Amino acid sequence: MELLFLALFCLHILKTEAVVGHWCYRSQKCEQPQCEDPSQWHNIYVACKGDRQSPVNIVTRNVVYDKSLKPLAFEGYDVRGSVDWTLENNGHTVKVALDTSPKVGGGGLGVKYKAVEFHLHWGVPGEPRNFPGSEHSIDGEKYPMELHVVHIREDASNVAEAKKSPDGLAVLAFFIKADEENKNYETLLSALKDIKYKGDIVKVEPLPLSSLLPPEEDLGRYYRYQGSLTSPDCYQGVIWTVFEKPVELSLLQLSQFAELHFDGKNSTPMMENFRPVQPLNGREVLWSGAGVVLPTARPLLLLALAMACTLSSLAH
């Protein structure tokens, strides 16, 4: 009976204008059976089958500590721009174009990169714990949502020009977990009702980009690897920085993304808009380990504490 209901539902919302060659997420296949889901993206964009694809599962026991990965230097992240932000439902996610261009450098980056946009990926907004939607995972565990701040090389005028370089883009990735309410996100979340459908655009008051991120003092610990964009064209020239410290949103705040749709009225709700993890293919994932006891040093520290306790008890 459930299968029959699903089949009837698919027939009800099937769109005859679905075009072969249009990329989509797996959750859109019911509505657009002819679209190319992540396992088929390479049929349209050959780079999607490359050997440096993103996202990846980060296995913490295999990461390589790199002492050169110092905290990044953020420029203009704490500045509220003078131009309104443009929020867009682009049929795949919520995208926010940035006009001011905060910059990031240091932290092992060869050049400075300027921010051009940010967007999000999520699972099922109403059930973020049961159906998480972050793209990267840590030891196989996913978070409810993931925020990507996309940067291009400072010397490039746009994304297309940046892609001509082998290291043209740098993306900062932040996990989002279900926890406390985050009032800094209210401006964005309250605007979601105005961009329910594909192509909808709304202007909102700009915020300092740093207000959407964890405090800067918590951003010293991160993972770094060479990868790609996580949606077509899957350009392989992205320096990824995946931060350990997550952003917090409440369950109610996360559920507000349920208002969005992939297309027009009565179309599939926008959910599970993430790409599955890709093979590392021999790539190293580096770890900054800033200001922490290294994993190899912890047993020695525990042993020293145990010996101190033993000697103390003997003295008595």
| Residue 81 confidence (pLDDT) | 86
Q: How many residues does the chain have?
A: 316
- For the chain, report the end-to-end CA distance as a whole number of angstroms: 74
Band (pLDDT 50/70/90 cuts) for residue 290 is low
Catalytic residue among 92, 121, 136, 151: 92
Q: CB of 10 within 8 A of CB of 31?
A: yes
Q: Is 126 exposed, middle or buried (0-12, 13-18, 19+ CB in 10 A)?
A: middle
Band (pLDDT 50/70/90 cuts) for residue 68 is very high
Helices (H), 141-216: 159-162, 186-191
Q: CB of 176 within 8 A of CB of 143?
A: yes
**pLDDT exceeds 90 at position 245:** yes
Q: Which residue has the higher pLDDT, 16 or 189?
A: 189
HSE (CB half, 13 Å, CA atoms) of 246?
A: 18
179-207 burial code (b ≥16 CB/10 A, e <16): eeebeebebbbebbeebbbbebeeeeebb
Band (pLDDT 50/70/90 cuts) for residue 266 is confident
When pLDDT is averaged across residues 47-70 and rounded to a whole number, the result is 97
- Helix count (H) and strand count (E) of the chain? 5, 14
Q: Tens digits of per-residue pLDDT, 225-244?
A: 999 999 999 999 999 999 99
**pLDDT exceeds 50 at position 163:** yes
**pLDDT exceeds 90 at position 162:** yes
| Residue 183 confidence (pLDDT) | 97
| Residue 263 confidence (pLDDT) | 96
CATH of 51-291, one of 3.10.200.10, 3.40.50.300, 2.70.150.10, 3.40.50.2000: 3.10.200.10
| Residue 276 confidence (pLDDT) | 98
Tell which residue, 99, 184, 173, has the closest CA to residue 138: 173
> Per the structure block, which two tokens stand in for 128?
């973020």
Band (pLDDT 50/70/90 cuts) for residue 105 is very high
Residues whose CB is less than 8 angstroms from the CB of residue 195 and which lie 6 or more positions away in sequence, other chains included: 87, 88, 89, 94, 201, 202, 260
**pLDDT exceeds 70 at position 123:** yes
When pLDDT is averaged across residues 63-91 and rounded to a whole number, the result is 95
What whole-number distance in Å separates Cα of residue 116 and Cα of residue 195? 20
| Residue 7 confidence (pLDDT) | 45
Residues whose CB is less than 8 angstroms from the CB of residue 207 and which lie 6 or more positions away in sequence, other chains included: 80, 85, 184, 187, 188
Q: Where does the chain show beta strands of DSSP type E?
A: 57-58, 64-65, 72-75, 85-89, 94-97, 103-106, 113-122, 137-138, 145-153, 169-178, 201-204, 222-227, 238-249, 286-287
Residues whose CB is less than 8 angstroms from the CB of residue 161 and which lie 6 or more positions away in sequence, other chains included: 152, 168
| Residue 309 confidence (pLDDT) | 46
Cβ neighbour number for residue 279 with a 10 Å cutoff:
11
Q: Tens digits of per-residue pLDDT, 197-221?
A: 999 999 999 999 999 999 999 999 9
Our answer to whether residue 92 is catalytic in this structure is yes
Identity of the amino acid at 234: C
When pLDDT is averaged across residues 174-191 and rounded to a whole number, the result is 97
What whole-number distance in Å separates Cα of residue 32 and Cα of residue 13? 9
- What are the residue boundaries of the structural domains of the chain, listed by start? 51-291
Q: CB of 234 within 8 A of CB of 127?
A: no
CA distances (Å), origin 314, targets 113, 308, 310? 59, 10, 6
Percent of the chain past pLDDT 90, that is, above it, reads 81
| Residue 296 confidence (pLDDT) | 44
